[in-house]
Amino acid sequence: MSDFTLKNKTAIVTGGGSGIGLAISRLFAQKGARVFIFEMNADQAQRLAAEIQAEGGQAVAVACDVSDQAQVQQQVNAILEQQPVDILVNNAGIAHIGNLDETTEADFDRIFQVNVKGVYNCMHALIDSMKANGGGVILNMASVAASVGIPDRFAYSMSKGAVRTMTFSVAKDYVTQGIRCNCISPGRVHTPFVDGYLARNYPGQEQEMFEKLSKTQPIGRMARPEEIASLALFLCSDEAGFITGCDYPIDGGFIRLNT
């Protein structure tokens, strides 16, 4: 990993203040990037930016709702006035549990606005600048749910399937303009979201259910956010300059070894 550097690169990481996004923001900064942390939770983003700066890295917290196109464009334009953006990591997303008949229109719209439109908004805000600057890297966060059926994840699977196919479309349309676009499809990752979900739904059984969920990955455990961040670093580095239009499952064998 020591060869993968982002020195002198500018990166935007959406949802960059917690979970996988936090791990990506921190690793990118450690590898020399100036990281703009787009977050709904401004305080969370500010705390992480301060930690990164204390460690000698460069980070800026940006309060932003990725589902709001005008807000995204305004924040992106403010950054572009200072420097071009080399890397966009579309990590912001929300979850929903429920099958088709348990998914209301409001549920569906909420997931779509953040997980699908949010990715579109950020790519749309940056694509002209990347074209004008001779290229860039876009990395989208999909999911194993985009490739295989997972019980009670109807709206979430819809959204991640859209992220996966948007990735392929953007990669195809802009390959001759120096823009690479890939996506990562994690399996279960141990983040604060998982702990919160277990505490809310299985009080007193958290450890038992954690082990049960962990064993759905053939490798026998959940991923660590830092493991997802390491793959993100590679795909956004110059060493991955020949890679575009790809989806990378990082799932402990979930897709291939369970089907």
Question: Which are the catalytic amino acids?
Answer: 156
Rounded distance between C-alpha atoms, residue 65 and residue 38, angstroms: 8
Which pair of tokens denotes residue 75?
A: 């924040």
Exposure string over 48-60, b if 16+ CB within 10 A, otherwise e: bbeebeeeebbbb
Give the closest residue to 164 by CA, choosing from 175, 174, 156, 153.
Answer: 156
Rounded distance between C-alpha atoms, residue 181 and residue 244, angstroms: 5
Angle of helix 42-54 versus helix 19-30 axis, rounded to 10: 30
- The residue length of the chain stands at 259
Dihedral pair phi/psi, residue 229, rounded to 5°: -60, -35
Q: Which amino acid is at 100?
A: L
3-class secondary structure, 252: coil
Which pair of tokens denotes residue 173?
A: 């349309």
Give the closest residue to 38 by CA, choosing from 25, 29, 54.
Answer: 25
Q: Do 63 and 40 contact (CB within 8 A), yes or no? A: yes
Torsion of CA 42, 43, 44, 47, to 10 degrees: 120
